[in-house]
Structure 1
Amino acid sequence: MSNTTSSHNHSHCINEQDQKAITNKRYLPLLLINYACLFVGSLSSSLLSKYYFNHKGSSRWVSTWVQSVGFPLLVIPIFLPYYLFKSTERKPFTHFTPKILALSIFIGLMLGLNNLLFSWGNSYLPVSTSSLLLSSQLVFNLILSVIIVKQKITFMNLNCVILLTLGSALLALESNHDRPQGLTRAKYFIGFIATIGAGLLFALYLPIMEMIYKKVYCYAMVMEMQLVMEIAATALASVGMAWDGGFAEMKREGREVFDKGERVYWATVLSNVVSWQLCFMGTAGMVFLTCSLTGGICMTALLVMNVLGGVLVYREEFGGVKAVSTVMCGWGFCSYVYGMYVKNKMKQLDPDLDHKQITNISPPNLIQMDQIVAPSPHHNGV
C-alpha cells in the first residue's frame, strides 16, 4: 500500500513539474502578491522605524521587538484557507517534522539578531544611507549562494552585484558628509558597522532558506515555517526587552518622551508591526517562488525606493554621491531583470532547453497550497 502511495505521489510530482515554469498562470499572481507585500512592507517599515527614532523614541529593543511580534497575523494565510474557506485539503502543519521545527527556531533566532543590528544601525544613520549600505548584502548573498545552494555565477548576476556593491562602497567613502548634526563619529561608525552586519546576516539567511524550502511541500508550509521563525525572533527580542526594561520603557515613552503624543506613538508601533510582517512574508514568498539571489536583488532594488522615501519624507540630503549610488543600484537591477527576460524568451522558444541553463527563471517549489509535491531531485536552485 505504501509503495502504491509513493508511486502515485512520484507520478503526481512528475505530472506537476511543468507547473513550476514562470509562464504558469498560478505562479505569476502569487509572485506579484508577494512582491507587492515586499514593496509596501520594505518601504513603510524603513520610514516608520526612522520616524520612531526621529521623534525621541530611543529603545532599540522596542524597534527590534516590533519587527517580529506581529507573527499572529500569519494565522490568516495559514489557517483560514483550510478552516474557513475550505479551499485546501491540506491541514495546517501537516508533515511539519521535528527537523523543520528545529531549523525554523534556529533561523528565527538568527533573524532576531539581524533585527537588532538593523535597529541599531537605523537609530544612528539616515534612512537613505542605511538603505544604500544594506545593498552590500548582495555580494555576500552571491558568495554564500554559490557555497550553500550551488548558485551559478552568470554575467547578469555578477554585473548586478558589482554595480550595487560599488554603489555602497562609493557611499561609504563619502559617509562623513552625511553624518547628522550632534551625532559623534563613534556612533556613526557603530551604526555603519551594525548595518553592514545586518546585511551580512540577511545574506546568510536567504540561501539557507532557499536550501530548506527545497524540502517543503507547498506555499502554506512556507508561512508555517515563517510563523515559527517569527515566534523565535520575538522570544529573543522579548528577553532583551525584559532585561533592558523595554516593556516599562514603552509605556513611559508613549506618555512622556515621544514628542507626537501617546496616541501617535502607539499608532507608529502598530503600523511598524504590520509593515514588518508584510516585508518578511514577501521575502519568504520571493525566495520560495524564485531563489535567494533573486529575492536579494529584488529587495536591493526596493532599497532605492527607500533612499528616495527618506529624501522626500525626511528631507534628507541627496547629493551627488547618493545620486550616483542610486543610479548604479537601478542600473544593476535593470540589467538583472533584462537577463531574466531574455532567458524566459529562450525557454519559450525552446521548451526542451536544458534545465540547468535556465535555472534563473524556474521557481524551486510548486506554489499550490493544497498539493504536496516533492522537489525534483534534479533541481539545483536558481
Structure 2
Amino acid sequence: MTPSVKNHTTEIQFTHHRQGGEELPHLHANSAPPMENNTNTKMQLHADQKSTTNKRYLPLLVINYAMLFVGSLSASLLSKYYFIHKGSSIWVSTWVQTAGFPLLMIPICVPYLFKFTKRVPFTDFTPTMLILSVSVGIMLGFNNLFFSWGNSYLPISTSALLLSSQLVFNLLFSVIIVNQKMTFSNVNCVILLTLSSILLALDSSNERPEGLTQRNYFFGFFCTIAAGLLFAFYLPLMEKIYKRVNCYEMVMEMQLVMEFSATTMATIGMASGGGFAKMISESTMVFDKGCMVYWVTVVANVVTWQLCFMGTAGMVFLTSSLTGGICMTALLSMNVLGGVLVYKDAFGGFKAVSTILCIWGFLSYVYGVHKVNRKEHHKALTGNKNSSDSSTDIINVVAY
C-alpha cells in the first residue's frame, strides 16, 4: 500500500529495516540533509536544487554559468569603457555594480507566478538570515569600491589577471570555513593561476597609462588585490550560509538583500559627494561620447553586473565556493582577450604565458572534478545495488 499526500515537490521515502524483530524507521530523501536547528523550526520540504538527482540541477547550472560568462566579460569591458571616455566617478562605478538588485525579483517571483513552485517568496526568510545578508552586503559594497578604484587606474587586462590572485586565498578560506578538501587538482590549479598573476606583476610596469602617476598606479594595483582578497573571503562565507538553503529562489532573495545593502552604502557615498548631480553634468559636459551613450553605458553596466552576481551566487550554491572562484578566474583570461581586442591593450609574452597558465589551471581542475564525480557515481551505483538486495518496506510520501 502506497499512500501519497501531495504537498510539495520532493519525494520522501520512509524505509523500515527489520533488525532483530524491531522496526527501525529511517528517513531517506532525494535532497541534502535538513537545515540546521530543524527540530526547533518548521521543516521546509522543498526539492533540493543542489542535488544532482534533481531535474532542475543541470539546467540551473548551465544557466548560471552562462550568466557568469556573459556578465563577467561584459561588465569588465563596460566599466573600463566608462573610464576610458572620461567618466571619473568612483562612486558611480561602484553604485552600478549592485543598483540592479530589483532585477532579482524576476528569478524570485517568476517560478511562483507560473506555478513551478508553491513556495511563496520570502516566507522562509529568518531574522538571522536577514542579519547575515545585510552584513555580507556591506562587505560586498567595500569589495565593489576597491574594484572600481583599481579598474579606474589599471588596464583591463592587468586588472583582470591581478584578480586571479584571489584564488589562493579562496582555497585557504574554503579549507578554514567550509572544510574544503585539498586535492592535487585544486592545489595544482591554484599554483598555476597564482604563477599567472606573478608573471603579470613582473610585466605590469610597462603598461602604465599616460599621465598616471606612480602613486596612483600602485594604489590601483593594491586596491585590485584587496578586492580579490575580499571576494575570496566572500565566496566560502556564502557557501557556509547556503548550506542552510536548498532552494534557488531563496538564494536570490538573500542576494537581493545583500545587493540592497551594498547599493545603500554606495548611494550614501554618492550623495555625500554630490554624485547624482555630477552624473547629470558628467553625461552632458564630460563624457566624450555624448549624453545618450553615457546613460546606455550606465544601464548596461547595471544589467551586466547583475548577470555576473547572479551567476556567481548560483555557482556557489549549486557547486562550491572553490568551483565558483575557479570558474571566475578562468573567465578572467577571456577578459584579458576582450581588453586586447576591444581596447588594444598590449599583449606581450608575459601576458600570453599568463593566459595559458590560467587555461591550463582551469582545465586541470575540471579534469580532477570529473574524476571525483565518476568515482562518487560508481560508489552510488554500487551502494544502490547492495541496498536493493536487502528487504525493505517503502512508503512514498510526496509533500509540499
Instruction: Verify same fold: TM over 0.5.
Output: yes
CA 1:353/1:57 → structure 2, altered by over 3 Å: closer, same or farther? Answer: farther
Identity fraction in percent = 68
Matching of residue 271 in structure 1 with residue 297 in structure 2: no
**SS at 1:105 equivalent:** helix
Pick the aligned partner of 2:207 from 144, 156, 178: 178
Deviations 1:288-311 (A, max 9, x none): 000000000000010010000000
Alpha-carbon shift at residue 136 of structure 1 (Å)? 0.3
Residues of 2 paired with 1:175 and 1:185: CA distance?
12
Q: Which residue of 2 aligns with 1:215?
A: 244
8 Å Cα contact 1:347/1:353 also seen in 2: no
Where in structure 1 are there 5+ consecutive unaligned residues? Answer: 355-370, 373-382
CA distance in 1, matches of 2:320, 2:223: 26
Residues 1:47 and 2:77 are matched in the alignment: yes
Asked if 1:154 corresponds to 2:177, the answer is no
Pair 1:279–1:342, CA change in 2 (3 A): same
- CA–CA separation in structure 1 for the residues paired with 2:257 and 2:246: 16
Q: Given the alignment, which residue of 228, 232, 235 partners 1:199?
A: 228
Q: Note if 1:67 corresponds to 2:81.
A: no
The answer on whether the counterparts of 2:245 and 2:251 sit within 8 Å (CA) in structure 1 is yes
Distance 1:261 1:228, change over 3 A: same
- CA offsets 1:247-267 (integer angstroms, 9 cap, x no match): 011000100000000000000
Is 1:318 equivalent to 2:347 in the alignment? yes
Q: Distance in 2 between matches of 1:21 and 1:242?
A: 44
Structure 1 residues 198-347: aligned runs within 5 Å: 198-347=227-376
8 Å contact kept, 2:11–2:30? no
Identify if the C-alpha distance between structure 1 residues 353 and 290 changes in structure 2 by more than 3 Å, giving closer, same or farther: farther
**Residue equivalent to 2:43:** none
1:350 deviates by 2.8
Q: Which has the larger radius of gyration?
A: 2
AA aligned to 2:99 is V
1:79 aligns with one of 109, 112, 120: 109
Q: 1:159-218: CA deviations, max 9, x gaps?
A: 000000011011112221111122111111001000000000000000000000001241
- 1:79-98 equivalences in 2 (<5 Å): 79-82=109-112, 84-98=113-127
After the TM superposition, which of the residue ranges 180-189 and 310-319 deviates more from structure 2? 180-189
Check whether the contact 1:55–1:260 (CA below 8 A) recurs between aligned residues: yes
Which structure dedicates a bigger proportion of its chain to strand? 2
Would the alpha carbon gap of residues 287 and 125 (structure 1) be closer, same or farther in structure 2, given more than 3 Å must change? same
The change in CA–CA distance for 1:280 and 1:270 in structure 2 (over 3 A counts) is: same
TM-score (norm 2): 0.84
**CA drift at 1:348:** 2.9
Moved more, 47-56 or 20-29: 20-29
What secondary structure sits across from 1:316 in the alignment? coil
Which of the pair is proportionally richer in helix? 1
Deviation at 1:352, TM superposition (A): 5.9
Distance 2:366 2:89 in 1: 39
Shift of the alpha carbon at 1:23? 6.2
Backbone CA RMSD of aligned residues: 1.9
SS at match of 2:310: helix
Which secondary structure does the structure 1 equivalent of 2:31 belong to? helix
Segments of structure 2 that go 5 or more residues without pairing to the other structure are: 1-6, 15-26, 33-47, 384-398
Equivalent in the alignment of 1:103: 132
| CA spacing shift, 1:23–1:322, aligned 2, 3 Å | farther
> Equivalents in 1 of 2:370, 2:213: separation in Å?
46
Partner of 2:4: none
- 1: CA distance between counterparts of 2:355 and 2:244? 37
Structure 2 CA distance for aligned equivalents of residues 9 and 211 of structure 1: 26
CA contact (8 A) 2:12 2:30 kept: no
Report the AA paired with residue 46 of structure 1: S
CA distance in 2, matches of 1:152, 1:287: 16
2:30 and 2:53 in contact (8 A); partners too: no
Where 1:17 maps in the other structure, the secondary structure is coil
Cα distance in structure 1, aligned partners of 2:121 and 2:203: 50
Amino acid aligned to 2:326 = I
Deviations 1:273-293 (A, max 9, x none): 000000000000000000000
Q: Match of 1:379?
A: none
**Preserved contact between residue 70 and residue 273 of structure 1 (Cα < 8 Å):** yes
Report the Cα offset of residue 30 of structure 1: 0.6
CA distance in 1, matches of 2:307, 2:326: 18
Whether contact under 8 Å (1:149, 1:207) holds in the other structure is yes
- Matched residue SS, 1:351: helix
Contact 2:185/2:364 (8 A) holds in 1: yes
Deviates more, 1:253-262 or 1:345-354: 345-354
Encode CA deviations 1:78-135: one digit per residue, 9 max, x unaligned.
Answer: 12221x3122110001120000000000000000100000000000001100000000
Q: Equivalent of 1:165, from 169, 178, 194?
A: 194
- Per the alignment, residue 58 of structure 2 pairs with 28
Change (3 A) 1:316 1:242: same
- Residue of structure 2 in register with 1:131 after alignment: 160
Instruction: Please report how far the alpha carbon of residue 14 of structure 1 lies from its aligned counterpart in structure 2 after TM superposition.
Output: 2.7
Number of aligned positions between the proteins: 349
CA distance in 2, matches of 1:16, 1:325: 42
TM-score by length of 1: 0.88
Return the offset for 1:245: 1.1
SS in structure 2 of the partner of residue 191 of structure 1: helix
Q: Please give the alpha-carbon distance, in whole angstroms, between the structure 1 residues aligned to 2:355 and 2:240.
A: 31
